[in-house]
A and B are shown apart, each in its own frame.
Chain A
Amino acid sequence: MYYVDLLISGVAFGCLYAMATMGLTLVYGLLRILHIAHAALFTLGAFVGVWVFNASGSLIVGLIVAILAAVVMGCLIYRLIYESILSQPPYVPLLASLGVLIFLQDGFRIVFGEEGLTVRHNPFYMANFTIGAFSINVIYIVMAGGALISMAVLAFFANYSRHGIAWRATVSRPLLAANFGVNVIQVRYAAFAAGSALAAIAGVLVALMNNLVEPHSGELISYKGLAIIVLGGLGNMQGAFIASLVLGIAESFGIGLAGRYVDRDAIAAVALIATLMIFPNGIGRART
């Protein structure tokens, strides 16, 4: 029973990680940038979503405004920060990205306050779904469902639409894709927009789970996001999804079994180090 509970929460967290960090995978695939500021878009989505939800009473409206805000901010980060430093060595965009993260997190603290925002009428608060002896938090179901649906939409787009195929071609060979009429810049904006939108949804879901969003909420995914894209094989979407699930489940069982000796982040770290020692190039297929 206990192990089933661990598995359920592990899968729910894994799905959430996948959704929250897909933007990192998309951006890394196209630009080879470790876009750590992505974590701030997760927090931005959560703040805007909760604020609008509290003010308007409609979760849907909150979600839509959150997505818009994150998409605009994500595209701005590309345009104002990354575009001019793409040809620099990788640590330059990485540190610039970190600067953006610090800046935005402190911005959230100043605007929304140290304590952050609490969800006023949380429909998922203490809500459980019971089948027989099992009782699952409804928010877990929503997290897993939301992640799976949004990932499925993204995968469908990438595999079956012309623009999605052109996008993957750009990841594979950007210069050549341009020669066939693919507008590489538009593809980049699309990647930032899609990744940021997913991060915003994930942010709102986590805020609903915790009933709260704080300026530092994004740290939950900032370094784990990097770990996930590395494990997933750098820019490989399926790989990242699998890595997210593995990480979620490993954390869940790790805390359940060894929580007295190490914390959540350290369990993820052990899983990460062990995996990299066995597969020095990540789990996912190494991209050519």
Chain B
Amino acid sequence: MLELQDFSCGYGGTAAVESLNCTFAAGALTALLGPNGAGKTSTLMAVMGHVAPMGGRILFEGRDITNRPPVDRSKIGIAVVPEGRQLFGDLTVEENLIVGGYSLPVAAARAEQEQVYSLFPRLAERRAQISGSLSGGEQQMLAIGRALMAKPKLLLIDELSLGLMPKMVDVCIEALTRVRQNGLTIVLVEQNTSRALSIADHVYVLASGRCVMHGSSAEVKDNTEIFEAYVGIH
């Protein structure tokens, strides 16, 4: 589904990610782990078109999208739940969802909105509330819902559990498990390593902008020495 080939990117000429080779298989949930500053967010934002590529290619469904402008992403089927949610804070819950579905025809967006509300009934109750005043958990639900509004084939999630209480994390993961049944491909960046390993099919571990190990969840778990050296098990 998504492939990074020898991919480098960075800010103002300094590389944040170097020579990354990753394959994110269709329908799989792939976890991207690593310490702070490893380049996880940079990788996701490069896929969204916001970090300048410095070499290599990004392929989506076999097409080279390395230099496509950010505005094309939702049309080709990529959506993001960014680090720190980044809701449109002055807009209401429903308006955030409307923006999420902006690239769909009106009728399709309406139908999708009902889907999101049935996935997160809590959002339906608060549809007229200004999103900036939601609780942390509700904000994360809205960020996921907003991304799902675009009917993506590939969903990038940055720091799902950041600042959430365990019960909220459960709600979000449960929702992701439900939407995965429709064949959605997911890339998950997570600090809560054990949580991530328990749901991921495949894992990449980054450190200082490079891939230091990868494999199936089970393989990575077995290789505890190297793994703990980089991320540690929480």
Q: Which residues of A contact B (CB under 8 A)?
A: 162, 165-166, 168-169, 171-173, 175-184, 287-288
Known contacts A168-B90, A177-B99, A181-B71; 10 further A-B pairs (Cβ under 8 A)? A165-B91, A172-B88, A172-B89, A175-B50, A178-B69, A180-B79, A180-B99, A180-B102, A288-B90, A288-B132
Number of A-B contacts defined by CB within 8 Å: 72
Asked if residues A166 and B79 are in contact (CB atoms below 8 Å), the reply is: no
A180→B95 contact, CB < 8 A: no
Given A165-B98, A173-B86: A179 in contact with B48 (beta carbons within 8 A): yes
Known pairs A165-B99, A175-B50, A180-B100; A288 contacts B71 (CB<8 A): no
User: Quick check: B74 and A180 within 8 Å, CB to CB?
Assistant: yes
**Chain A residues positioned under 8 Å from B48 (CB to CB):** 179
Most chain-B CB neighbours within 10 Å: which of A171, A175, A287? A175
How far, in Å, is B135 (CB) from chain A's closest CB? 16
By the criterion CB–CB under 8 Å, are B88 and A169 in contact?
A: yes
Identify A177's interface contact among B88, B89, B101, CB under 8 A.
Answer: B88
Give Cα A179 to B49, complex, Å. Answer: 8
B91 touches A179 (CB 8 A): no
A-B contact pairs, 16 of them (CB 8 A): A162-B106, A169-B91, A172-B91, A173-B86, A175-B70, A177-B88, A177-B99, A178-B69, A178-B71, A179-B49, A179-B73, A180-B99, A181-B73, A182-B99, A182-B102, A288-B89
**A175: nearest chain-B partner, CB-CB:** B50
Contact A179 B98 (CB under 8 A): no
* Residues of B contacting A172 in the complex (Cβ-Cβ under 8 angstroms): 88-91
- Choose one: A165, A169, A171, A182; the contact of B71 (CB below 8 Å): A182
A165-B91, A168-B91 known; A179 and B79 CB under 8 Å? yes
Question: Which residues of chain A are within 8 angstroms of B106 by Cβ–Cβ distance?
Answer: 162
**Contact-residue size bin, chain B (C-beta under 8 Å from the other chain):** 20 to 34
For B134-156 the 0/1 string (1 means CB < 8 A from A) is 00000000000010011000000
Q: Which residue of A lies closest to B132 (CB)?
A: A288
Closest approach, in angstroms, between the C-beta of A173 and any C-beta of chain B?
Answer: 6
Residue of B at shortest CB range from A236? B90
Interface positions of B (Cβ within 8 A of A) = 48-50, 69-71, 73-75, 79-80, 82, 86, 88-91, 95-96, 98-103, 106, 132, 146, 149-150
What residue in chain A is nearest B50 (Cβ atoms)? A175
B74 x A179 contact (CB < 8 A): yes
Please indicate the chain A residues that have their CB under 8 angstroms from the CB of B95 in the complex. 165, 168-169
Q: State how many angstroms separate the Cβ of B153 from the closest Cβ of chain A.
A: 15
Contacts A169-B95, A175-B50 given; does A180 touch B90 at CB 8 Å: no
Min CB distance B156 to A, Å, is: 10
Q: Which of A166, A168, A176, A183 is close to B86, meaning CB atoms less than 8 Å apart?
A: A176
Given contacts A179-B48, A180-B100, A288-B132, A168 and B88 within 8 Å (CB-CB): yes
Distance in Å from the Cβ of B45 to the closest Cβ of chain A? 9
The distance from the CB of B184 to the nearest CB of chain A, in whole angstroms, is 17
Beta-carbon nearest neighbor of B96 in chain A: A169
Contact B74 A181 (CB under 8 A): yes
Q: A171: nearest residue on chain B (CB-CB)?
A: B90
Instruction: Output the least CB separation between B68 and chain A (Å).
Output: 12
Give the residue name and chain of the B residue nearest to A181 (CB): B103
Cα-based distance from A287 to B146 in the complex (angstroms): 21
Which A residues lie within 8 Å of B98 (CB)? 162, 165-166
Q: Contacts A168-B88, A169-B99; is A180 near B50 (CB within 8 Å)? A: no
Residues of A within 8 A of B102 (CB): 162, 166, 180-182
| Residue from A166, A184, A287 within 8 A of B99 (CB atoms) | A166
Residues of B within 8 A of A184 (CB): 71
A218 to chain B minimum Cβ distance, whole angstroms, is: 31
